[in-house]
Each structure stands twice: as structure tokens, then as C-alpha cells.
Amino acid sequence: MSDIRYNAPEKEKHWQKIWAEKKLFNATNDYSKPKYYVLEMFPYPSGNLHMGHVRNYTMGDVIARYKRAKGFNVLHPMGWDAFGMPAENAAQQHNVHPGEWTYQNIANMRTQLQSMGFSLDWDREFATCDVEYYGKQQELFLEFLAAGLVDRKKSRVNWDPVDNTVLANEQVIDGKGWRSGAEVEQRDLTQWFFKITDYADELITALDDLPGWPDKVKLMQSNWIGRSEGMEVNFELNDTPTEFPSLKVYTTRPDTLFGASFMAISAGHPLAAALAKDNPKVQKFINECNAIGTTEEAIETAEKKGYDTGITATNPLNPRQKLPVYIANFVLMGYGTGAVFGCPAHDQRDMDFARKYNLPVTVVMANDNLDINTFNAQSLDADTEDGLLINSGFMDGMNKQQALEAVAKKLENQQLNGHPQGTRKTNYRLRDWGISRQRYWGCPIPVVHCDQCGTVPVNKADLPVELPHDVTFDKPGNPLDHHPTWKHVACPKCGKDSTRETDTFDTFIDSSWYYARFADSKSEKAVNREAADYWLGVDQYIGGIEHAILHLLYSRFFNRAMKKCGYTSIDEPFTNLFTQGMITHETYKDQDGAWLNPEFVLFDSDGETRQAKHFETNQPVTIGSVEKMSKSKKNVVDPTDFVTNFGADTARWFTISDSPPERDFLWTDAGVDGSYKFTQRIWRLVCENSNGDVLDLENAPKNLDAQATSLRVITHKSIKNVSQAIENLHFNVAIAQIYMLTNAISSFASKADKKDAVAQFVLFEALTRLVQLFGPIMPHLAEECWQQLGYKNLAAQELWPDFEHALTVDDTVSIAVQINGKKRDILTIAKDATKDEIEKAAFALEGVIRNIEGKTIVKKIIVPGRIVNIVVK
């Protein structure tokens, strides 16, 4: 019977056409039905779908199809995160308009997505670069502006002086611009900000209301926002430029003030700038600090350096102590006040700095693990353990909490220049969200700069502010800025000649509200309130862990901002969040050390070691480590080729089959083969055991023999377990259960008398349920099998089966019997056996008798249904 073959690529097209014609997956805005909104993070249209997308969207699709079968009105939409730098890069490199490039990519990727058989509502599709979308985004911005959620202030950027452009962090390589190779400078530009810090506290607190989010993501967000309780302390300065009589620092550890040995200010601090004015050495040092870059990572991993300004600061608790003030490269201007005091004994960064510049180290907190005698002189490691205060005057003997309270009171009451010298302050690591980008391919910021009226919002009636199509990329800088006419407009207020803002929005804004637009993507308003009230929040959001912080935090903020402006009613956009792992693959290099695409690699497995050679040249190939699939390492598998060869169902099945979905997934050819063979095996199994007669599954026959009963048991257990596994997103577990059911059906079918009515029934029931259970994962094969079984409707329209509870409960259990914690035998006994019965039966077991012979019983642990453990001596 091996000639029964399932031609997946051909059949898949057939069923996709039928689904599309019937518009089977379009959500209806019928607000009377129970809804379920499943959304996967929409893709950037890079031009090609990759396997990461396939895995991500398969997970969402399984849920969508499952929930549909469960009777929900399911919204499962798709769109495109279509603004961004790659389009501009393509424009410069290949002389193609970013819009053309983007829409072409979208067309290509849409075809690819459709070939995967995802049950998407294509009628709601949009791209963020559609003027219908970004025009609404401008409407939102104007509302936010009016609501006081927007700010304009200076911010530091990477500046390429040759290309005359702002560089993204990823475009700065070793301190140089990626294209020009020029030394990157830091510049302060006036930019637009969303006041996300106004919501800092709420964004932390509300994490508690998100039980459907992974704890690790909530923790990451909480750490990112970084709430800390501390003090602002004002230090009097000596020998300082007159406009800076004092220096304000933020500290969470004012209790360690007696251990202070220096002050450090950021290179961006106004005091540093003032000193640099007439001291070129200071300026040079500031420039050095700036060269490190704008990322926190770069700043914190750079070797610690300081410049002694010659100024000193008076310790507010110890007026005789004058602390040297350094400009230091490890102090961030964006956090706190941009100035700190250094207490080397109890902070590692301060310790590193103190050892480098020979500054004193004073221990002010003692604990049992700290030897004060050796510590001061030699230690390179700061001691961060809590203890009791020493060398700290009025705080001596206090613990940390007491000392924090005491020092706070003291500094609050102490005056400097007529103000309290210290104030308690809650600080956040979170900074306001800078949203200005000096680029063309983004949403124009709808404001106008007028000499007379200042910054004026565009009138709502004049929206959208459309991007001009006729731009060139041959000149350095922002094309919007040097467009001949676009930016010249009349001021909306006074009518005089003025200029448009030429910055565009950060593309994170585009992705911060798209989920709400999907509720009614044709709506005249940015968000259709009624539709949003029905569909939001997203019941299941799925995407990569790399978005754990920024995208998800911005969306949470944005949703609150939209609520404030009356667009939505709820705070949290995503009720349940799932972060899936990446797809990885082995890497290969040829003899010259160049990365090699897997399709060129042939393997020899002679015995123990695996060897590889080039498919064409026969040259040996080095097998490298497993890495995330990426173009640069060429360890990618193209979904289009794959679907042409094996079909979408195999890809869908394989990408969620083995690994738990939150974990990385290793792509192997062997795994692909296994999945492909399984699709064929199912098709054979269904063909060989069906005659097109549909039996009534509501009327199960009585008096089944043992074999038939056991097939019914596994059928119903499978319904139960697969349902549960899908609900929990444990797709790999669901798949293991489907394999088990398949094995059981094969084994039954090979033995059973197929003329027997009972056998026919249990076999038909098992096959029907099997097809339904794998249906969400391999929907095309399911339709084909469904038809083969004799059903006249579509599998995709069939409701999810229920299971008979009685068949899923066993009446006996087998429990392990241990002697001294080691398993010695297994006891099979009635589920409801009492402790005494279990004990009696356990001691009758051969394995027990053998192992307790001649020994004394010390203890017996009997947990019914679980374990027997006999402790002997």
C-alpha cells in the first residue's frame, strides 16, 4: 500500500482556495458572541518570510483554529510593521524608492504567509506605512499633545559628521559611522518625547494585574522602570565657578555617607560644561567620554576614567572632609542628577575607581564576613552585604534601615543656602520616550514651526500630513529636510510662512497601537471605540522575547494614553502574553572560512564522527556551532522552498513539534524528514481504514472487548490531553499525545477484524478524533482526511469534540515501592485502596521481600496513589 501518497503542495493550494472563497476566517463584529483575539507580533516586511515567522504564526494559528472550533468569534489579523531604516538603506543602495521596496516586499510576504495556510482575516490587513494608518497616528499624537502627554527637550544622539545624519546605535561600529567610517560625535538635538515617566509608577504597579504574562517579562519590565527610594543630597562646593555653589547628587545609600571619598559627575553635567569653557583639557576629557557612545552597555563596560577638577565638595555629615570632584565616564547624565558620591568600600564601581586613583577606602558597615583589618588596605572587591554601621558618628551601631531613616531626618533638617540639604526622592531608571527620528521613511510629526507662534500643531482637518513621494537619497541628511517644497507651509495659527517639522516618529509608535486598529481597521477614527471595547484586550499575544521590554512597555503606555484621550476603555492591551524561542540551525564554513548555506552541505556519517563536504565542489566543510538562523551566517532555511518541497503542514508540524515553544528550536533535516513521514503515515492510515461511511459517534456500542475499550480510552484521553496542552500552549506535548493516538490506531487496525461493527465504530471514532486533534496544526491534511472519512462539511468548520469523562479515569494505579528511596518494585492496585491495603500488598511484593530480608524496618511512608517508601536498617 506504499503507493498511497499525499501530495501536500497540490492539496494545500486547493484547500487554501476553498477557505479563502468562503471567507472562513473573517471575524465578524457581532458583539453578541463570545470573542477571542489572538495576535502575533506583526512582521517587518524585509522581503522574505523566515522560519522564525513560521513558528510564531503557527503557534497563533493553532490557537485561533482551536478557539474557533470551541465556538468563539475569533479575531486573528495580520499587518505590516512597514516603516523603518532598512527601506532607506535599500533606497540608497539600489536606487529604489522606500515605498516601492516596502510594498513589493509586502506583496511577496503576503503570498508566502498565505501559502502557510494561516487562518487570518485578510480583510483587516494594513501596513503602518499606509497613509490611512499613519494619518490616524498623527491624530492620536495631536490628542496626546493636547492632553499634556508630549514634551520637547534636548537629547543626545550619535552624529555622523560626514553623512550629516543621526546614526542608530547599530550603525555605530567601533565608534565610527558604518557607511562613512567617520568618527561619531555626540550631539544634543531638541526632540519630541512622550512622557512615559509620568506613568512609571503605574506601569510597575499594574504588572501585578497581569497574571497572564510570564514572570520573567514582568520582572524585566520592573527592573527596566527601576523604581528606587533614595535622597537628593546637596553638597557645598569649594573653589568652584560662581554659578555652581553646590552639587546635587541622587543616592539610594545616604547611610554610607561617612564612607564617601570622592564625588563624580557625568561628562554631560552642566558643571563639566562650565569647566570646559576655559579649560581645553577638560573639554578633551569630555570628548573622550562622549566617544564611548550613547548606549548604557558601552558606558558601563568601558574602563573607568576620571578627571580631577580640583574642586572639592564638603561632606554634609562631616564638614571637615573635603571630597575631590571628578568628571567620570561611568556616571550617566540621564539618571538621577548626573552626579554621585563615591563610597568605595560598599560599591564595586566606586571601588574600581578609588583603586585606580588612589582614593581612601573607609568601611562604614560591618558584618561577620568582613575582616576590617585586611579590607581597607588590599581589597579590590567592595562589600555589598548589609550589616551594622561603624565609623559613622551618630549612626554607629544602627542597622541599614535605622541609619537610612536617621540620615534622612538629619539632612532634611540641615540647611544649605536656605534649603534643606537633603530631600527624600523616589527615582526611576525609566527615561522619557524619545520619539523623533531624523529620517524619511516614517510617520511625519504633525507640527509646524512658526517664527511668531512657535511650535504649532497641524489642524486636525489638515491631516494626514503625507510623506512626499518625490525624494532623493543622493544627498547626506534627511530627505524631508532638503525637499524643495514639502516643508514650506502656512502657520496653522497666524497663516504666515513657516516650516514643517521634518522629523518622523520612532517606528515603535507604529507598533504601539496596531492591535487596537485591528478591531476596525477601516474606521474613520484612529480607533473605533465600540469595536475596541468588544475585541480588546488581546486574549493571546505571541512574539519574541527580544520585545520583552521596549515594544511591550511602549504599548502599555500608549494604551493608557489612548484611554486618557477616550479611545479605549482598558489599561492593559495584552491580557495574555507568550514569548516564543528562536529558530536555530547548525552553521557551516567552507575551507576559506566563508559561511555556507546548508543546502550546499552533504553529510557523511561514517561510524562515529559526522563529516560534511560541499555539495558541488566536494571540498570539506567545517561544521560549526548551533546559532540563531540569520542571513549573515547563512544558516537559514527558506520557507518558500520548503513549502514547495514538503508542504506547509510539515513546516507547521515540525516547528512546534519537539521543543517547548518558549525555548529555542533546533532545525534539523532529520526532524523535517520525521515530520514529513508522519504526514504520509496519517494519510495512509486514514485511507486504509475508511470506506466513506460516516458513523453516528453519539451512539457508542456497549460490550466492547479489551482492545476496543483500550482504543476508546486512548482516544478520549487524547481529546482531553490535547485540549489541555493547546490551552496551555504546550504544543510539543499535544503532538506527543497525537503520536501516541496514531500508534494506538495503527496497532489496533493491524489486529482488528474490520468487519466487526464494534471495531468499525471505535476505529472510525479514533480516526475522526485524530483528524480533529491535529487539525489546528496541519489544517490542510485535516481537510483531506476529513473528506476521505466521508464528512461533507469542512474540518475547519467542525466543532471541537468533547471527551467521555468515564473513559479518561483509570480504576487502578501503579505506584512505585521504594526501599530506602530506591525503587524495588511496582504495585498495581485499585485507585481507592486504603493505606492498610497498600501496605499489605506492598509487603507481599517479591522485590520488597527480597530487599528487607534480615533488616529492621525503621519507618514506612505510604502516600496512597503516589508512593510507598520503606526505610530499613
Partner RNA sequence: GCGGAUAUGGUGGAACUGGUAGACACGCAAGACUUAAAAUCUUGUUUCCGUAUGGAAGUGGGGGUUCGAUUCCCCCUAUCCGCACCA
Tell the smallest beta-carbon distance from residue 867 to RNA (Å): 4
504, β-bridge pairs: 437, 444
User: Whole-angstrom Cα distance, residue 89 to residue 81?
Assistant: 16
Least distance (Å) between residue 775 CB and RNA: 18
Does 797 interact with RNA (rule: CB under 7 A)?
no
Give the residue, chosen from 665, 683, 761, 800, that forms a contact with RNA under the rule CB under 7 A.
665
Give 430's DSSP letter.
-
User: CB neighbours of 857 closer than 8 A, spacing ≥ 6?
Assistant: 870, 871, 872
- Check residue 150 for interaction with RNA (CB under 7 A): no
**What is the footprint of RNA within residues 451-490 (CB under 7 A)?**
none
Cis preceding linkage at 226, omega within 30:
no
Q: How far is the CB of 657 from RNA (least distance, A)?
A: 7
Q: Report the residue number, 9 or 434, with the smaller CB distance to RNA.
A: 434
Which is nearer to RNA, 743 or 834 (by Cβ)? 743
Residue pair 279/260 in contact (Cβ under 8 Å)? The answer is no
Nearer to RNA, 28 or 295 (CB): 295
DSSP 8-state class, residue 756: S
The count of other CB atoms within 10 Å of the CB of residue 794 is 17
Site for RNA in 529-548 (CB under 7 A): 545-548
The answer to whether 818 contacts RNA (rule: CB under 7 A) is: yes
The whole-angstrom separation of Cα 689 and Cα 626 is: 42
* Phi, psi of 622, rounded to the nearest 5 degrees: -85, 130
Q: Where are the beta strands (DSSP E) in 55-107?
A: 73-75
Instruction: Report the C-alpha gap between 306 and 353 in whole angstroms.
Output: 8
When binding is defined by CB under 7 A, the residue of 687, 740, 794, 807 that contacts RNA is 740
**Contact with RNA (CB under 7 A) among 141, 508, 518, 558:** 508
Q: Does 492 bind RNA (CB under 7 A)?
A: no
Position 47 contacts RNA (CB under 7 A): no
- Rounded Cα gap, residues 668 and 763, in angstroms: 34
What single string gives the DSSP state of each residue in 357-408? TT------EE-TT--HHHHHHH--S------EE-S-GGGTT-BHHHHHHHHH
Site track for RNA across 756-795, x = CB under 7 A:
----------------------------------------
Rg for the chain, CA atoms, rounded: 34
Q: Which of 146, 602, 799, 861 binds RNA (CB under 7 A)?
A: 861
Q: Scanning residues 433 to 452, which ones bind RNA (CB under 7 A)?
A: 433-434, 436-439
Chain positions 603 to 622 lying near RNA, rule: CB under 7 A, are 605
Site for RNA contains 346 (CB under 7 A)? no
Nearest to 712 by CA among 807, 843, 588, 607: 807
Q: Does 431 bind RNA (CB under 7 A)?
A: yes
Q: Closer to RNA at the Cβ: 215 or 462?
A: 215
Q: All 3 cell numbers of residue 439?
A: 529620517
Among 173, 799, 826, 857, binds RNA (CB under 7 A): 826
- x-or-dash pattern for RNA, window 378-417, by CB under 7 A? ----------------------------------------
Contact window for RNA (CB under 7 A) among 100-108, 480-488, 763-771, 815-823: 815-823
Smallest separation, CB 74 to RNA (Å): 25
Binding to RNA (CB under 7 A): which residues in 54-83? 81, 83
- Is residue 750 at the binding interface for RNA, with CB under 7 A as the rule? yes
Residue 549 main-chain phi, psi, to 5 deg:
-100, -75
Binding of RNA by 507 (CB under 7 A): yes
- Residue 86 phi/psi, 5-degree rounding, is -55, -35
What is the C-alpha separation between 533 and 456, in angstroms, rounded? 33
DSSP string across 674-717: HHHHHHHHHHHHHHHT--SPPP-TTS--SS--HHHHHHHHHHHH
DSSP 184: P
Interaction residues for RNA, span 155-174 (CB under 7 A) = 155, 157-158, 166-171
Looking at beta carbons only, is 215 or 239 nearer to RNA? 215
Least distance from RNA to the Cβ atom of residue 414, Å: 31
Give residues 626-655 in contact with RNA (rule: CB under 7 A).
Answer: 628
Q: How far is the CB of 735 from RNA (least distance, A)?
A: 7
- Applying CB under 7 A, among 244, 357, 739, 791 the residue interacting with RNA is 739
The nearest distance, CB 653 to RNA, in angstroms, is 10
Residues 259-298 touching RNA, rule: CB under 7 A, are 294-297
Stretch binding RNA (CB under 7 A), from 131-139, 232-240, 401-409, 742-750: 742-750
- β 665-666/583-589 pair status: parallel
